[in-house]
Chains A and B, each alone.
Chain A
């Protein structure tokens, strides 16, 4: 019986995935994800443009800080310090949505 437990657990997991294949994300989940994205978008918009653009280039553009310095003409040190400032501000604006207690809020 004990040997059966892992197999049952695995099968349950596969069954859950199979059910997802049929049902897809539920409406609650979709709404939650849209809300979360919108909150992040709104938070980005509160940043000063010169800070926000650096985050966009780094995270969404995939550029290194050295590359960003070249692209923007800013000194590398300025790119680093502005990025840090932007990350700190964004954390404050996002507030409880990035709590470290294991709960992610929209």
Chain B
């Protein structure tokens, strides 16, 4: 195995947000100096983002069983690698990765209008071709960062308050033409990044928006609160 093969293993795990803290620190430091790793990561992130096209669970509190999770994702009863105590040993179930089914979802505008959150373009990923960093600010404080690399989106909450019990944040993309699409949902409680795939190319994006929705078993279909929006 080559040295890069080992780094590529870490790149794949990083794209899946599945590295241990130690491995992640190691890889992030190396990434700064490794163009080959950056290229590999970009490919892995695109694959990971594609995984986000499958909606599965929207429950906030209960860990799904291994069987039900597989059934929701794959829709069949294919061979299963025994992981009998998965639910019992679950330590984290990252709601932020769950992606809404757009069919029943709409963007809701609060009666009071759109809260004046400001999206500003950052520069930390400007060196990478096709990389855009956007900060979600409210009252001068950055609440979350949005990084768009090609079609892969990562939302990292920073000072964003955790979603209240029974609620979730939903990130939406508003293309220049056509309806907005839900990209991802997240709670911001664990500060874990949420991953998603753009539903339209970034260049054709007019705005991103964040709404607060009820964390129900099905995607939102009735009006609630849109918290933030901003143009690209």
Contacts and interface: CB of A to CB of B under 8 A. Distances in A.
Given A21-B223, A87-B15, A98-B46, A70 B206 contact: no
B73 A25 contact: no
Contacts of A63: 18, 90-92
Contact of B106 (A12, A21, A30, A59): A21
Interface stretch (B30-38, B93-101, B138-146, B155-163): B93-101
A85 to B, nearest CB: 9
Contacts of B9: 80-81, 83-84
B192 to A, nearest CB: 8
A58 B47 contact: no
B19 A64 contact: yes
A64 B85 CA distance: 16
Nearest to A18: B109
Contact of B20 (A33, A43, A65, A91): A65
A35 to B, nearest CB: 9
Contacts of A21: 106-109, 223
B51 A17 contact: no
B217 interface: no
A62 interface: yes
A37 B55 contact: yes
Contacts of B231: 9-10, 13
A41 B71 CA distance: 11
B215 interface: no
Interface in B165-217: 174, 178-181, 197-199, 201-203, 206-207, 209
Contacts, number: 205
A41 B66 CA distance: 17
B151 A40 contact: no
B103 A33 contact: yes
A14 B201 contact: no
Contact of B201 (A30, A57, A103): A103
Given A17-B226, A26-B178, A60 B56 contact: yes
B69 interface: yes
Contacts of B83: 53, 57, 71-72
Nearest to A30: B103
B51 A20 contact: no
Interface string B69-91: 11001111011110101100111
Nearest to B15: A87
12 contacts: A14-B113, A16-B207, A17-B207, A17-B229, A25-B106, A36-B50, A40-B53, A50-B81, A59-B97, A64-B92, A98-B43, A100-B150
Given A33-B181, A43-B50, A58-B13, 15 more contacts: A13-B230, A17-B180, A19-B179, A24-B179, A25-B180, A49-B81, A53-B83, A56-B73, A58-B18, A60-B69, A61-B93, A64-B18, A65-B23, A87-B44, A98-B49
Interface of A: 9-10, 12-14, 16-21, 23-26, 29-30, 33-34, 36-37, 39-41, 43-45, 49-50, 52-53, 55-68, 70-72, 80-81, 83-84, 87, 90-91, 94, 97-98, 100, 102-104
